[in-house]
Each structure stands twice: as C-alpha cells, then as structure tokens.
Chains A and B, each alone.
Chain A
Amino acid sequence: MKRIYIHEEYCIGCRLCEIHCIAQHSRSKKLIKAFKEEFPRPLPRLVVEESGYISFALQCRHCEDAPCLSACLTGAMYRDEKTKAVLHDKDKCVGCWMCIMVCPFGVIKRDENNKIVSKCDLCNGEEVPACVANCPNEALEYR
C-alpha cells in the first residue's frame, strides 16, 4: 500500500502539515474558513514532535499488525480492503479509548467534543494526503 514516509532531517518544524490537516478535515476544506468560521475546529490527525533542532510530523502508520485493530471493542477500527489503510468508523466508536491505550505511536487522539477518537485517514481517497502535499521541504513523502 501507499504510505506516508517521514524524513525528519528535512523537517523544519513549520507545522504547515498540521494546519492543512485541520483544513482538510473541516467541513469546507478551506483553510481560512476552517480557522475563522468553523467551530469546534477539527483536531489535527497528526502530531508534530519537536525537541531542540529535531522535529517531525507523525501520523498513523497504518501498521501491518495493528494493535488498535485488536483492541477495538466496537468494530469501529477496521482495515480498508482495497487500500489496506487502518480507518475508523465514527458511527461505531463509543470512545472507550482502548486504541489510545495500545497505539505505540500515540497517534490516535481523543475528540472530546464528540466522545470518539480521531486518527489519520490518509485524507480518504485524495491523491496525496494534505500533510504531504503541503510540506514545503519534502519532509513527508507519499509513495
């Protein structure tokens, strides 16, 4: 499957990935609208980690042997048969947080407004996920 690869040596810590991730998952999918008019604002589905001169963006790895799939009590977490991505069905999630407990990358978040979790969906069918498309220094790559 196609995945997002992280090149931390190129990351400049600008967080554009985060901003565009939010916009992509907003209702309008428009950056300014998403930040100015839509509340509550969607959560970014990635984390930007930073320490000293190092930084990188980290999103769901869509693991081959995904612990979140084994831990999910509701069938909300599932593997897309075509793309092999690990996706999350928000209508099935009850917010038990089992996936948060077992994800070794810590990339599943609690969406407190909706009492469900939120995670990377590889921008659901977009040619290139928004974080990758908007990275100014190719620190994220989709192949």
Chain B
Amino acid sequence: MERFLIIGSGPAAISAIETIRGKGSKVEITLLSEEPYIPYSRPLISYLLAGKIEEERLFYKGRDFYERYGVKAFLEEPAVEVNIREGIVYSTKGRKFTYDKLLIAAGGKPIIPAVEGKELKGVFTFTTLNDAKNIAKYLEVEKAERVLIVGGGLIGLKATEALLEWNLNITLVELADRILSLTLDKKASNILQWRLEKESVKVITSNTVQEIRGQKKVEEVSLRSGEILPCDMLIFAIGVAPSVSFLRESGVEINRGIIVNEKMETNIPNIYAAGDVVEIKNIISGKNQPIAIWPNATEGGKVAGANMLGEDKFYPGTFPMNSVEVCGIPTISMGLTEPEGNDYEVFSKEEGINYRKVILRDNRVVGAVFVGNIERAGIFCGLIKDHLDVSPFKSRLLDDDFGLIYLPREYRKRKIEEAIGL
C-alpha cells in the first residue's frame, strides 16, 4: 500500500487528510507533529486566553480526528531531517519514517529578535496552545501586571485583545509608524489605535525593544528611543517565518518559504508542501511570498492532497487578507490597502467608526478595507479573485446597498451557476 507521510498537524495537513480520505483513498497516512496535541485551531488561542471559550473548543475537528481518518500520528515528535534520496524522514526521537509521498505542512515559527535578555523568564511568543497556557500560568503565578507586547500586527493585537480581559497594564510597541501597518491603511490603523487607547492600552510606534533586563525574570525593558519601561511580562509578536530549518540540507528548494508550483509540488518529486511553510503566488502582485493565513493553508492542503492521489488540481494563489476585531470594532482588509504611486484609483467613505475603502488598478479591485460595517465584504474578495472590470459600476462600489445587482448580469448569472457546479 502507498505510504503518505505528513509533517505537521495544522489546517494545511488536516485539509489534505480530509481531501485524501474524502476521495475514498485507503493509503497509509502517518503524521508527525512537533506539538503534543490533536489538531487544534491556533487562531482560537486568543479566545482561550481571554477566557471566552474552553480549551475543548480548540479541538475543532473533534477528539477522534486521527482515528476517524485512519491517521497514525506521532505527537511531540518533530521531523529533524529529510533524506530525499532514500525517502526517509528522521524525527527527534531518532526514529526513521519512510514514505512514498511526503507533505510538508510545518507551518510557521514566531520570529524572536536577537535582543539581550530574550531567554529570561516571562518572555513569551503567542503562536501555540502551549504559549497560551504558559502565559496564563505565568500571569497567575507571578501576578504579572505590566505587560509589553512587541509587534502591532495581527498576532500582537490578538494577544492584546486577550490580555485586556485580564485587567493588566498593557503597552504595545510597534516598529512601524502605526499598528497593523502591513494590512490596514492609515485611517483604519488610527481608528483601532484610538480604540485601544480608550481601553488604556499604551501604544508606542516607530520604536522597538533594545534590551530586556532582569535578574531571573523580566523586570524592565529598554526601548530603542532610550525609554525604560518596567515590565513583568513580554510577548514577542513580530511575525512568523516558515518553519524550514529542518529542510536546509535536504535539497528541497527554499527561498523564505518552500518553493512550490500550482500543484503544491516542491522541486523534489513526490514531495509536496502547503500552508504557512510555502511561498504562494500573490495574485495581485504576481510574486510568490509566504501568505500566512488560514484559508491559504486549507486551500493549499486540499490541492496537495488531491495531487498526492495522482489528480491534476491547481491552486492559482491568493492574496493577503484578514479579519481582526479590536474591542468590538470589526475590521476586514484585503489586498493592497495603502498603495503608492499613480496607478491606483481610491474610493473611500467614512461615518463615525464606519469606514470603507476600495482600491482599483486598471479598473480592477486590488484592495479593500472595512472598519465597523463589514457586511458583504466578501463580495470584494470575489471581485479581486475574478479580476472583474468594475468600470461600469465603480461609482456604486461604496453605496450602502451595493451588491450583486450592480454587477453585469452575465457575470452574476455565471457566478451563481458556477458556485453550484453547473
């Protein structure tokens, strides 16, 4: 029987397994995961830390996923080396795993900057379930009150939002001149910063941590600006990098992430990769880059799984997008949100905290931002994907009742038919 080996147990891996079994295949599936858990949803760790949900809810595929899907899982047993010539993966426990086909879905690892003091107690990242548990434990045991969050991107904000429920004294420091600078435009960033400050979060921009000091645990932090902040806990949230260190010598081609084609094949026959670990085509810029979002992991995993079974499926790529809610203000952003240069046409509208902006290039939507009123934002996601010429109705894009009705009738009909596979 054919043997599939999967490295990782995140959504890319899970979606590949669901695809493989969903097609009725009985291949042998073995899985290695660095973490001690059955599949869980990383994005839910902020809800857990906030006390909004129980730990059980993180196991979004049910406790019996591996059994139901016939997966032989080796937990807390990360891959350390891949030998492509012999088709063997070595684990930390010194075990050898042979495969006919290999899927690398090892996701991303949080980036920790090389600052003095980063090994002190009280310094955390916020990526895994263990991170969330360790943070909660530290807060309880050490009675930490002053928390510094380094990085004002998605994960930094998720951590902030969760910790607001703990009644702490929170400072957020961000290197760029505004929070969520990679995904939101200036106005939306400002709205969220204003909201955080209203919640007594101290937001420091254009600055970062220079040194972490303390006897055994974090006691204070010095910033690049020279400012010294007393602090009991620090969370690094400056980004994730594809988890590829175990592949460096393997011959699998890697840039920042693993390089794959539209079939999610690496340069090595029978080795596939998907999710945060790969560079995927950004269909707006045309360039390949890691796009570390959940839907990219599930979509890529689905295509990889099908192709491992010998099908001919393609994943044309995606674009950065996210949905982040901060203190009750929902935001959705997609594509280019703060474009530079003269090639763009920008429409925007603002009413209190409700803000919408749509960016066009050559009469095609290439980006959008929604704050407050996020209703029907997905229509714009569809317009970006479909590369539709919006010139006939572009003056309507920000109308309150904007909807499919303004789209060309033929396109609308085709879209509805395609959805149901006609």
The interface on chain B, measured as residues whose beta carbon lies within 8 A of the other chain's beta carbons, has a size of 42
CB-CB contacts below 8 Å: B385-422 with A:
385, 401, 403-406, 415-416, 419-421
List A contacts of B53 (CB < 8 A). Answer: 94
If A58-B404, A94-B44 touch, does A100 touch B57 (CB 8 Å cutoff)? Answer: no
Q: Tell me, in angstroms, the Cα distance from A50 to B405 when the chains sit together.
A: 7
Stretch at the interface among A16-24, A28-36, A70-78, A129-137: A70-78
Mask of A73-102 contacts with B, CB within 8 angstroms, 1/0:
111000000000000000010111111111
- Pairwise interchain contact A61-B381, C-beta atoms closer than 8 A: no
Q: Tell me, in angstroms, the Cα distance from A28 to B191 when the chains sit together.
A: 41
Mask of B51-72 contacts with A, CB within 8 angstroms, 1/0:
0110001001110000000000
Q: Tell me, in angstroms, the Cα distance from A75 to B325 when the chains sit together.
A: 19
If A97-B374, A109-B375 touch, does A102 touch B403 (CB 8 Å cutoff)? Answer: no
Q: Tell me, in angstroms, the Cα distance from A105 to B74 when the chains sit together.
A: 41
- Pairwise interchain contact B382-A104, C-beta atoms closer than 8 A: yes
- Pairwise interchain contact A3-B420, C-beta atoms closer than 8 A: yes
Stretch at the interface among B114-122, B235-243, B295-303: B295-303
Chain A nearest Cβ from B159, distance in angstroms: 15
A12 within 8 A of B: no
- Pairwise interchain contact A100-B299, C-beta atoms closer than 8 A: no
- Pairwise interchain contact A106-B60, C-beta atoms closer than 8 A: no
Chain A nearest Cβ from B314, distance in angstroms: 13
CB-CB contacts below 8 Å: B262-302 with A:
294-295, 298-299, 302
**Count class of interface residues, chain A:** 35 or more
- Pairwise interchain contact A102-B420, C-beta atoms closer than 8 A: no
Which of B322, B385, B403, B416 contacts A6, CB < 8 Å? B416
Q: Tell me, in angstroms, the Cα distance from A59 to B352 when the chains sit together.
A: 30
Q: Tell me, in angstroms, the Cα distance from A71 to B334 when the chains sit together.
A: 14
Q: Tell me, in angstroms, the Cα distance from A58 to B412 when the chains sit together.
A: 11
List B contacts of A106 (CB < 8 A). Answer: 375-379, 403-404
- Pairwise interchain contact A101-B41, C-beta atoms closer than 8 A: no
- Pairwise interchain contact A101-B419, C-beta atoms closer than 8 A: no
Q: Tell me, in angstroms, the Cα distance from A75 to B382 when the chains sit together.
A: 22
Q: Tell me, in angstroms, the Cα distance from A51 to B422 when the chains sit together.
A: 27
Mask of A29-72 contacts with B, CB within 8 angstroms, 1/0:
00000000000000000010111001110100111100101110
- Pairwise interchain contact A110-B374, C-beta atoms closer than 8 A: yes
List A contacts of B378 (CB < 8 A). Answer: 67, 99-106, 108
Q: Tell me, in angstroms, the Cα distance from A137 to B272 when the chains sit together.
A: 52
List B contacts of A99 (CB < 8 A). Answer: 378
B330 within 8 A of A: yes
- Pairwise interchain contact A105-B419, C-beta atoms closer than 8 A: yes
List A contacts of B382 (CB < 8 A). Answer: 104-105
Which of A58, A61, A94 contacts B420, CB < 8 Å? A61
- Pairwise interchain contact B60-A67, C-beta atoms closer than 8 A: no
List A contacts of B44 (CB < 8 A). Answer: 73-74, 94
Which of A6, A69, A100 contacts B377, CB < 8 Å? A100
Which of B322, B325, B403 contacts A49, CB < 8 Å? B403
List B contacts of A61 (CB < 8 A). Answer: 416, 419-420
Q: Closest A-chain residue to B384, C-beta based?
A: A104
Q: Tell me, in angstroms, the Cα distance from A70 to B11 when the chains sit together.
A: 9
List A contacts of B385 (CB < 8 A). Answer: 104
- Pairwise interchain contact B416-A70, C-beta atoms closer than 8 A: no
Q: Closest B-chain residue to A74, C-beta based?
A: B60
B33 within 8 A of A: no
List B contacts of A96 (CB < 8 A). Answer: 43, 323, 325
Q: Tell me, in angstroms, the Cα distance from A96 to B161 when the chains sit together.
A: 13
List A contacts of B415 (CB < 8 A). Answer: 104-105
If A73-B41, A75-B61 touch, does A101 touch B323 (CB 8 Å cutoff)? Answer: yes
- Pairwise interchain contact B406-A51, C-beta atoms closer than 8 A: yes
- Pairwise interchain contact B401-A50, C-beta atoms closer than 8 A: yes
Q: Tell me, in angstroms, the Cα distance from A99 to B377 when the chains sit together.
A: 10
- Pairwise interchain contact B405-A54, C-beta atoms closer than 8 A: yes
Q: Tell me, in angstroms, the Cα distance from A93 to B198 when the chains sit together.
A: 28
CB-CB contacts below 8 Å: B305-340 with A:
321-323, 325, 330, 332, 334
List B contacts of A63 (CB < 8 A). Answer: 419-420
- Pairwise interchain contact A104-B379, C-beta atoms closer than 8 A: yes
Chain B nearest Cβ from A60, distance in angstroms: 9
Q: Tell me, in angstroms, the Cα distance from A64 to B419 when the chains sit together.
A: 6
B124 within 8 A of A: no
Name the 4 nearest CB pairs between A and B, nearest first: A104-B382, A106-B376, A75-B60, A103-B378
In addition to A3-B420, A101-B323, A110-B375, 17 A-B residue pairs with Cβ atoms within 8 Å of each other are A49-B405, A64-B419, A67-B378, A73-B60, A74-B41, A74-B44, A94-B53, A95-B325, A96-B323, A97-B332, A101-B334, A101-B374, A101-B378, A105-B419, A106-B377, A106-B404, A109-B375
Interchain Cβ contacts under 8 Å between A and B, 17 examples: A49-B403, A49-B404, A50-B401, A70-B298, A70-B302, A73-B41, A92-B57, A96-B323, A96-B325, A97-B330, A100-B323, A100-B332, A100-B377, A101-B322, A105-B404, A106-B404, A110-B374
